[in-house]
Structure 1
Amino acid sequence: MTDHSLLSRLDLNLLTSLDALITERSVTRAAERLHLSQPALSASLARLRNHFGDPILARRGNTYELTPFALRLAEHTTMALDAARRVFESQASWEPNESAREFSIYGSDYGFTTVGRVVSELAAERAPGVRFRFMLHNPVVVEDAANRLRAADGMVIPHGILTGLPFVDLWRDDWLAVVSETNQEVGEAVSMDNIAQLPWVMTYQSRSAFTSAERQIQQLGIEPRVEVVVESFQALPHFVAGTNRIGLIQAALAPIARRLGGVRVLPLPFPATPLVNALWWHPVHNADSEHIWMRGLFEEAAAIVASGTDAGAED
């Protein structure tokens, strides 16, 4: 049986019922969420059980729990619903100032604080009904980017991590060191001895989530002594202030770190490779006129960030 003939025999409304059942873990609550009668949703559950050959919900005492199979379905169900929603929200002719579309973008707090914020401001001026949802990525999301980006509109992340997906370059940035104002072991500049001997606050530190400067330190023959790993660039200075630790942040975040107080932002004692930030997306969005408009907005916002004229980032 072909995929098309299988789909033609399915009621895609069952996807909505499945998502509600997985989310609520209760027929009663799922029915309320979908504004359906409980018998109607029970009938949908019976059809789902018959299709999958799995109970989906299993009674445990006075409550219901998702079966292991249903837990595996949960993420795919959400992505499928998002993709279906995009299909039916698309319009043959589209005017940004008349649209109420939501664009969903993965990234780090660094990307959102810089280019993401400027994108939101430009969109508010030109398409007040358009909304952006900025979602923090994590190592799991990054490793599964090719699948995640089927249902999302993009991911802001530097080169060197993702491959095989379309992208547009945004802006280049440099790495700087962050040390506490009270750190007496660091003078007017960070030395290689400081890099090797002082403890570190690092960001992400996984197979698919890392920074190029961290890798360079290792390539220089130094294995940093990591005391803290934090999945946030903006939070990093808080873990440095009042300690003898060192951290790394992007130059675009230096004004924010300085405004927090308690830290100094200094050049690194080696020529760190600049990072090239990019917006990545799935090829399914290539010809989407709304997505093309959004990509242009990111390019324009990135030019503002790169020029240093972004008032929100100034000291």
Structure 2
Amino acid sequence: MSKTNLSNLDLNLLVILDTVFSERSLTLAGKKLFMTQSAISHALSKLRDHFEDRLFIRRGNKMDPTPLCEELHESLSPSLKKILESLDDRGEFSPESSKRTFRLGLSDYLCNLLLPEIISILQTQAPNVTLRIVQATYEQRTAMLQNGKLDLFLGCLRDYGAGIFKEKLFQDREVCILRKDHPITGEVMTEDEVSHAEFVALSLSESGLGFLEDYLYHKGVQRKIKVVVQQEAVIPSLVSSSNLVGTLAERLAQIYTKIMPLRIIRLPLQNTEFEIFQHWHAVNDNDPAHIWMRSVLKHVADSLPQLTKHKY
């Protein structure tokens, strides 16, 4: 390409490129940007001339990006987002007036546990700030932080590589839930009951079921996994209408036992505790908006009640 000098390119054209990429439609992009379709088409013509590429190919009512457009968007979109947010906040961050959108990686469990209080704080402190909740596997999270598709994600401690910062928020532990009239009646499952019961398990990874299986394996106990889900909120309904035993974080299990005919039972393990951290990319470490959002999450986590002590 001979005309790749971005200093000659209007920033507004990049906004249009990003919007058409997201909407896959000139009409929808125009509505989102309050522009006519002819104005969007004219802008796209300038972009095609500048990059010497078609950028989008019409297939029916859909605009499919070319490989070059895909590459441009991957590089430009996070930077463009940062520029627009900085312009909107004038280099500072005022929660009362900001119109920022924060993209938070939260599982069903964390949404149930934290989101109501987060929203309450936003309603009083930052009425124009919005949230976009994203669910991602362990393997996707680092890339999503790097490309700006996530501002923060909350999850267990793992090695997410260089440039990913973290802060501990709270502790929880794995327990089991089953329907109140389940044949298993004790407060702690025996190893024999674990071996013969059928479980519904959670996995947020593409490669396995996580630390609980490792604990059981080293104890010489193998459980039967009947169903694997990626949404914790599905587990209580499956358990309440079957003989399945579900594994959940205790804080979430306590919420569901108050509204459904379920009870909590513990696994035959001395320690099933885990820690939840918030994670963010180094590029956002000193951003005032991120610092504020992280403080909100930390405040909400600190307000959670302490876990009760269990005697195994």
TM-score range, shorter chain: 0.7 to 0.9
Identify the structure with the greater helix proportion: 1
The answer to whether the aligner puts 1:283 opposite 2:282 as a matched pair is yes
CA separation in 2, counterparts of 1:84 and 1:35? 20
Q: What is the aligned partner in structure 2 of residue 230 from structure 1? A: 229
Distance in 2, matches of 1:26 and 1:121, equals 35
Q: What CA distance in whole angstroms lies between the structure 2 residues aligned with 1:134 and 1:42?
A: 29
In 2, Cα distance between equivalents of 1:6 and 1:264:
64
C-alpha distance after superposition, 1:264-310 (max 9, x if no partner): 211111123411111111112222223222222222221111447xx
Residue 192 to residue 118, structure 1, CA distance change in 2 (3 Å): same
- 1:201 CA drift (Å): 0.9
Question: Measured at CA, do residues 85 and 191 of structure 1 come closer, stay the same or move farther in structure 2, by a change above 3 Å?
Answer: farther
Over 3 Å counting, the alpha-carbon distance change for 1:205 and 1:218 in structure 2 is farther
Q: CA RMSD in A?
A: 3.1
- Determine if contact 2:56/2:66 at 8 Å carries over to the other structure: no
The aligned amino acid for 2:194 is I
Change (3 A) 1:68 1:259: farther
**SS of residue in 1 equivalent to 2:133:** strand
**Aligned partner letter, 1:257:** Y
8 A contact 1:110–1:253 mirrored in 2: yes
| In structure 2, distance between residues paired with 1:26 and 1:205 | 33
Partners of 2:104 and 2:151 within 8 A in 1: yes
For 2:250, the equivalent position in structure 1 comes to 251
State the alpha-carbon separation in 1 of the partners of residues 208 and 83 from structure 2. 30
Query: Structure 1 residues 155 and 185 mapped into 2: Cα distance closer, same or farther (>3 Å)?
Result: same
Aligned to 1:312: none
**What residue is the counterpart of 1:110 in the other structure?**
109
What residue is the counterpart of 2:310 in the other structure? none
- Would the aligned equivalents of 1:171 and 1:303 in 2 still touch at CA under 8 Å? yes
CA distance in 2, matches of 1:97, 1:29: 30
Distance 1:269 1:78, change over 3 A: same
Contact 2:86 2:92 in 1 (8 A): no
Residue identity opposite 1:15 in structure 2: L
Query: C-alpha separation between the residues in 2 aligned to 1:79 and 1:209?
Result: 31
For structure 1, the 5+ residue unaligned runs are 309-315
Give the direction of change, closer, same or farther, for the CA distance of 1:103–1:209 in structure 2 (3 Å limit): farther
Superposition TM-score, scaled by structure 2 size = 0.82
d(CA) in 1 for partners of 2:177 and 2:6? 55
Runs (5+) with no aligned partner, structure 2: 308-312
**Percentage of pairs with the same residue:** 24
Amino acid at match of 2:109: Y
For the 8 Å contact 1:80–1:151, the answer to whether it is kept is: no
Inter-CA distance 234–196: structure 2 relative to 1 (3 Å threshold)? same
Aligned residue in 2 for 1:181: 180
Q: Contact 2:98–2:128 at 8 Å: present in 1 too? A: yes
Residue aligned with 1:174, SS: strand
Q: Which residue of 2 aligns with 1:311?
A: none
1:145-156 mapped onto 2 (5 Å cutoff): 145-148=144-147, 150-156=148-154
- Tell me if structure 2 keeps the 8 A contact 1:142–1:209: no
SS at match of 2:5: helix
TM-score, normalised to structure 1, is 0.81
